[in-house]
């Protein structure tokens, strides 16, 4: 596990140039190393995707997102991401999704207020991003729809009948994670995957997952990165 995934170190560096520099350096190194046994052209593409963009996802995390989206391309259902910031993970999804519809959800005004469950998260308003710059960054990809505001409130009415094969959460906070789990999971197709960033780093994210999965058959699958995922059972609700 890379040193950068150390909780105390992350909290110390949170929001600083050191954090962004550290993640970028780690990501480029990870993608370079992956190129020795994965498709080197894909690793170059993933490196290019994040170049010039602020991002807190590592190369391995980016690879996992890309790989899952590619694997879900022939499943029924749309794709959604909540937590866009400068668009690195969103563009990574776009590079793999083909013609699938992608719902891009963010407040575009940065993080909402934390609650007592959240520790070590950035201040409210952090990670604000400009919708038009994201639109321009993703302009070459078809079937991308934008939902501005606090998710899931922003999509409750418009996407009520939609089903999803893949949902990517990168929202940092307990309430955001909890409410998105409650809203998206029942709308996942059987075999659909919900992947989240920061499960092993942020207390609020972990607590939301642990509460959501208590008493369910679907349990958290923890990955060697900061991520975790849930797979919807064939007869899951
Ligand atoms: C860490 S950033 C996302 C990083 C991004 N995935 C990347 O690749 O760099 C977290 C984002 O979550 C958004 N966010 C948090 N809770 C939200 C909610 N309930 N609804 C919409 N956006 C939310 C914030 O506005 C912020 O842009």
pLDDT in tens, 102-116: 999 999 999 999 999
Taking CA atoms only, the protein residue closest to ligand 1 atom 25 is 110
In this predicted structure, what is the pLDDT of residue 135? 97
Confidence at 11, pLDDT banded by 50, 70, 90 = low
Residue pLDDT, tens place only, 135-167: 999 999 999 999 999 999 999 999 999 999 999
- For the Cβ of 56 lying below 6 angstroms from any atom of ligand 1, the answer is yes
Residue reference for tokens 């207390």: 203
- For the Cβ of 55 lying below 6 angstroms from any atom of ligand 1, the answer is yes
Ligand 1 centroid from CA 25, angstroms: 22
- For the Cβ of 227 lying below 6 angstroms from any atom of ligand 1, the answer is no
In this predicted structure, what is the pLDDT of residue 52? 80
Q: What is the reported pTM?
A: 0.94
- For the chain, the residue count is 237
Confidence at 1, pLDDT banded by 50, 70, 90 = very low
Residue pLDDT, tens place only, 21-33: 888 889 999 999 9
Report whether pLDDT(173) > 80: yes
Atom of ligand 1 nearest to the CA of 53: 9
Q: Domain 3-231 belongs to what architecture?
A: 3-Layer(aba) Sandwich (3.40)
* Domain boundaries defined on the chain: 3-231
More confident call, 3 vs 161: 161
To test the pocket of ligand 1, the residue of 107, 168, 195, 205 to mutate (highest count of ligand atoms within 8 Å of its CB) is: 107
Atom of ligand 1 nearest to the CA of 88: 8
- For the Cβ of 141 lying below 6 angstroms from any atom of ligand 1, the answer is no
Confidence at 12, pLDDT banded by 50, 70, 90 = low
CA distance 40 to 32: 8
């Amino acid at each position: 596990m890379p040193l950068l995934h150390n909780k105390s170190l992350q909290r110390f560096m949170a929001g600083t140039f050191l954090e962004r520099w550290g993640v970028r350096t780690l990501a480029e190194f990870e993608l370079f190393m992956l190129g020795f046994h994965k498709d080197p052209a894909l690793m170059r593409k993933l490196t290019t995707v994040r170049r010039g963009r602020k991002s807190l996802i590592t190369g391995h995390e980016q690879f996992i997102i890309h790989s899952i989206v590619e694997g879900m391309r022939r499943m029924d259902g749309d794709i959604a991401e909540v937590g866009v910031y400068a668009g690195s993970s969103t563009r990574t999804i776009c590079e793999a999704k083909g013609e699938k519809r992608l719902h891009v959800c963010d407040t575009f005004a940065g993080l909402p207020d934390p609650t007592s469950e959240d520790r070590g998260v950035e201040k409210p308003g952090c990670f604000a991003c400009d919708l038009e710059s994201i639109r321009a960054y993703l302009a070459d990809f078809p079937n991308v729809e934008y939902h501005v505001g606090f998710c899931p409130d922003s999509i409750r009415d418009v996407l009520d009948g939609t089903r999803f094969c893949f949902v990517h959460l990168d929202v940092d906070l307990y309430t955001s994670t909890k409410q998105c789990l409650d809203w998206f999971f029942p709308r996942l197709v059987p075999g659909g995957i919900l992947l989240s960033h920061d499960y092993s780093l942020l207390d609020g994210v972990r607590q939301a997952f642990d509460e959501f999965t208590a008493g369910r058959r679907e349990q958290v699958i923890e990955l060697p990165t900061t991520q975790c995922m849930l797979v919807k059972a064939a007869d899951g609700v």
